[in-house]
Structure 1
Amino acid sequence: MMRNQTSSTSQTIRFTLIAFGLGVGLTTLVIGGADDATPIGTKWWPSEFGPADERGAANRITPKKVLEARDLIQDGKIYQLGRLYEHGMPIPGKRHFSLTIPGLPTGLPTGNNQMVSNDELVSGEIGQVGTQFDGLGHVGCRVNGEDIFYNGFKLSEFGNPYGLEKLGVENVGVFLTRGILLDVAAIRKADRLPNGYVIKPAELQACLDTADLEIRTGDMVLLRTGHGKLWMEDNDTYGEGEPGLGLAAARFLTDRKVALIGADTWAIEAVPHESDELSYPVHQWNLTRHGVYHLENLDLEELAADKVYEFAFMFSPLRLRGATGSPGNPIAVR
């Protein structure tokens, strides 16, 4: 996710009416007055994985899913889905990324063999720039003055400026699972979907029908919009908005118990949003309510060009204690 927008309303009744107006049909939302009402519907905790759980949908990566992924490898071709981390890449807001090699060489000659060495110094919001994995400590919701995240964890109880004491990415583990590509740009016969384009459930189903696939529990779902073609070509347009999921399409995926959603965009969801009353509602729906992770700023062009719609997917977030996210280079293998 790249930038802040106007804060969402704190009135449950307004959120409810907006959500129904968008066709989400959320049976869990209430119209004010209930003790468990929040700005995003009824309380979402405890998790289906237990009241102490910090892994969310990563619990769906079972040995059975790993073996299912293994069986999808046919010719051994590897697709790197991560972007280069480099100077000049699209960066949200005032975040930054810098890599320098101090000294050149950093380590002066030592020993009779005159060994020299170089090290790098990296600074920046390392988990939230470039290809980025959103952990469950990344996005929450303010409820009656308390900032509440996945599984009801309160920021006042687990927040620490030197690393979160709950929901850090060190809890996630490894994703090795079945992956599927939903090429929405292709079924819309578009080179690139425009900024603000809202992907709907019918379009996701059309992608599945075209590829003769179904979504299974624990899958990784990749969404191609064509927006990634702007990366390092037109960074201004890339960063000022994007096509992506609406709330109804997000529910389509969480209803099918996916583990992870990725896209060739910086926030997974449509920006501008479906309603200017809401700020990144799909993030809250996926991460906060359902514990489903995001992988953003992916390169899906080679995968789409080869029409690879089902594959083994692999990604291991860095074990950064207390971090909200992680960099990395996810891969697909066919």
Structure 2
Amino acid sequence: MTTSIPTMRELGRQLGNWGRWGPEDERGTTNLITPERVAAAARLVRTGDVFDLGIPLDQNGPQPGGYRINPIRLMSETGQEQVFPGGFKYADDYVFMPLQAGSQYDSLAHVHYDDRLYNGHPVSGLTVKGADKCGIDTQARGIAGRGVLLDIARFRGVDWLESGSAVGPDELDRVAAAQGVEVGPGDILLIRTGWRARFLAEHDAASFMAGEPGLGLGCAAWLRERDVAVVGSDNFGVEVMPGENPGAMFELHMVLIRDMGMTLAEMLDLEDLAEACATDGVYDFFYTGSPLKFTRGAGSPINPLAIR
């Protein structure tokens, strides 16, 4: 029997958070990360071990070119030919990159449909000057709280899931139960598909970006029921690609970001964290990852940390 997949707009109407935090809200589900939840998450630090979840920002990243490239860094000063009193010399550099190259957050202005951003803000405010509503700078106080890792690849017993392999809500439940962890309100949920591990093994950027395993549309209701604040993954777009509805693309993006107001974290490196969690069986931790305060930005590079 084929399971019926609801359309994007049906899901958006059912799960949307428009007006939940007031008509002017631009932050969406990060409102769920309350001071009380941050304080509780801080108590999850048990050993003090810190795991860097960001990928290197260099020419060896997974962006193959076209609409996004890997970062280009240029030295403007190296100390050569400088003459200052006392022998002082300095180095400076510049970087040219898409704000969504490498590990990144999508702002709530990143995707839209039917001429509306999250919370009904009109898309007319999204211009060449940036987003006058829901820009990444609205998240600049930082995203910190309880992080939870669901290691789908380890649960399936594979190094990585295959491109186009969808993860459904029932599997999320099974993985959480197997790991002995619960996902709840205000959590930052990280999904490991092994896609980063595949890139590290093959170093094939074109293949990395050609498709991916990831969350299916049915996971939107699962995330909404648990009031997850942020969802991130080790792939480039969190959701499965190609998607489940032929003729459409990035439907989960549109439901999560535009309708539910959920910030997405993409292209994370979860490999070392996953090994540590598997070793001691503890899959929750303190997560902290602030975006750079790009005014009106559609996204931002990040270097998030998991502290256990």
Q: Scaled by the length of structure 2, what TM-score is found?
A: 0.91
Alignment partner of 1:140: what SS?
coil
Give aligned pairs, total: 298
- State the AA in 1 paired with 2:165: Y
Higher relative contact order, chain-length normalized (CA < 8 Å, sep 6+): 2
Cα displacement (A) at 1:109: 2.5
Query: What is the 5 A alignment of 1:262-281?
Result: 262-281=232-251
2:123 counterpart of 1:130: no
Q: CA RMSD in A?
A: 2.2
Paired position in structure 2 for 1:89: 61
Percent identity of paired positions between Structure 1 and Structure 2: 33
Structure 1 residues 332, 42: CA separation in 2 closer, same or farther (over 3 Å shift)? closer
Paired position in structure 1 for 2:86: 113
Measured in 2, the distance between the counterparts of 1:129 and 1:164 equals: 19
Cα displacement (A) at 1:43: 10
Aligned partner (choices 140, 154, 157) of residue 186 of structure 1:
154
Structure 2 unaligned runs (5+)? none
Higher helix share: 2
Alignment partner of 1:323: what SS?
coil
Alignment partner of 2:148: what SS?
strand
Q: Scaled by the length of structure 1, what TM-score is found?
A: 0.84
Paired position in structure 1 for 2:10: 29
Measured in 1, the distance between the counterparts of 2:87 and 2:120 equals: 57
- State the AA in 1 paired with 2:290: S
Say which is worse superposed, 231-240 or 79-88, in terms of deviation. 231-240
Cα displacement (A) at 1:42: 7.3
Paired position in structure 1 for 2:220: 250
Measured in 2, the distance between the counterparts of 1:327 and 1:184 equals: 25
Structure 1 residues 278, 297: CA separation in 2 closer, same or farther (over 3 Å shift)? same
2:290 counterpart of 1:316: yes
- State the AA in 1 paired with 2:119: N
Aligned partner (choices 21, 33, 43) of residue 49 of structure 1:
21
Paired position in structure 2 for 1:167: 134
Measured in 2, the distance between the counterparts of 1:52 and 1:118 equals: 44
Structure 1 unaligned runs (5+)? 1-17, 31-39
Paired position in structure 2 for 1:328: 302
Paired position in structure 1 for 2:266: 296
Measured in 1, the distance between the counterparts of 2:240 and 2:43 equals: 34
- State the AA in 1 paired with 2:4: G
Cα displacement (A) at 1:159: 2.0
Alignment partner of 2:78: what SS?
coil
2:122 counterpart of 1:149: no
- State the AA in 2 paired with 1:276: P
Measured in 2, the distance between the counterparts of 1:43 and 1:189 equals: 32
Q: Which aligned runs of 4 or more in structure 1 are off by greater than 4 angstroms? A: 40-45
Cα displacement (A) at 1:101: 0.5
Is the 2:160–2:198 Cα contact (8 Å) retained in structure 1? no
- State the AA in 1 paired with 2:283: Y
Measured in 1, the distance between the counterparts of 2:205 and 2:197 equals: 10
Paired position in structure 1 for 2:73: 99
Measured in 2, the distance between the counterparts of 1:325 and 1:148 equals: 18
Measured in 2, the distance between the counterparts of 1:323 and 1:78 equals: 28
Measured in 1, the distance between the counterparts of 2:32 and 2:15 equals: 22
Cα displacement (A) at 1:106: 7.6
Is the 2:53–2:270 Cα contact (8 Å) retained in structure 1? yes
